[in-house]
């Protein structure tokens, strides 16, 4: 039995609403503590199950991406930088690191390699000399266009198992999750590296 099958077999989602109703019912205050522990246990199992599924989907998609971008001579972290700038536009180096949930040191190294290969350039902000902007070069814009074309050809079909409405729901849930993780990560990064700009 696989890890995911174990959770599918042993997790009864109806219990969540059951515990919710029980805790709202009168005359069971003495059971509140044990019910809370049980509910926390179920939520913990749910969280682990979601985590494992995200890892599985990431493994499949990242393998396909590596096959494509490897031929272009870029790594996955470099690809994430290129697509982030390509989709959102020029961005300060510090903000780029926060968008990708990496430290200032990591994002600097990634951008160093992209700049070396002439995919991006760094410009100093005219008003704030401490701020460094990262922009795509014409070569970087061309690569970004190729990445989008490859995505449309290769990765859109991978999503056909979901309806349009399911894709919208998944997108919203992942956005909410990413924002929550971003706040948590930002707090931990500030603790470790107080020099993020």
CATH number of 73-197: 1.10.10.10
Give the span between the Cα atoms of 181 and 161, in whole angstroms. 27
Which pLDDT does position 18 carry in this prediction? 41
Candidates 5, 1, 193; CA nearest to 104 is: 193
pLDDT at 191: 37
CA distance 138 to 118: 9
The pLDDT tens digits for 140-196 are: 999 999 888 877 777 788 788 899 999 999 999 988 888 887 766 555 544 334 333
Element (H, E) at 63: helix 32-69
Distance CA 83, CA 100 (A): 11
Location of structure tokens 């700049």: 115
What's the pLDDT at 188? Answer: 53
Lowest average pLDDT, out of 3-17, 97-111, 134-148, 180-194, goes to: 3-17
Lowest mean pLDDT among 74-83, 117-126, 127-136, 152-161: 152-161
Q: Where are the domains of the chain?
A: 1-71, 73-197
Q: Give mean pLDDT, residues 20-35.
A: 48
To the nearest 10 degrees (0 to 180), the angle between helices 32-69 and 76-88 is: 90
* Residues across the chain: 197
The reported pLDDT for the residue numbered 185 is 59
Q: Does the predicted TM-score (pTM) go above 0.75?
A: no
For residue 96, pLDDT beyond 90: yes
């Amino acid at each position: 039995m696989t890890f995911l099958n174990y959770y599918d077999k042993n997790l009864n989602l109806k219990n969540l609403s059951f515990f919710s109703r029980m805790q709202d019912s009168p005359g069971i205050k003495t059971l509140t503590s044990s019910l809370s522990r049980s509910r926390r246990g179920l939520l913990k199992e749910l969280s682990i199950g979601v985590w494992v599924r995200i890892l599985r989907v990431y493994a499949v998609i990242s393998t396909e991406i590596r096959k494509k971008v490897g031929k272009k001579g870029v790594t996955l972290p470099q690809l994430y930088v290129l697509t982030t700038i390509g989709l959102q536009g020029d961005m300060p180096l510090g903000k780029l690191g926060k968008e990708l949930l990496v430290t200032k040191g990591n994002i600097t190294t990634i951008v160093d390699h992209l700049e070396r290969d002439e995919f991006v350039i760094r410009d100093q902000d005219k008003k704030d000399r401490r701020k460094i902007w990262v922009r795509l070069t014409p070569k970087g814009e061309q690569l970004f266009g190729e990445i989008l074309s490859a995505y449309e050809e290769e990765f859109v079909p991978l999503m056909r198992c979901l309806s349009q409405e399911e894709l919208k729901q998944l997108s919203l849930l992942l956005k909410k999750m990413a924002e929550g993780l971003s706040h948590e990560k930002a707090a931990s990064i500030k603790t470790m590296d107080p020099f993020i700009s």
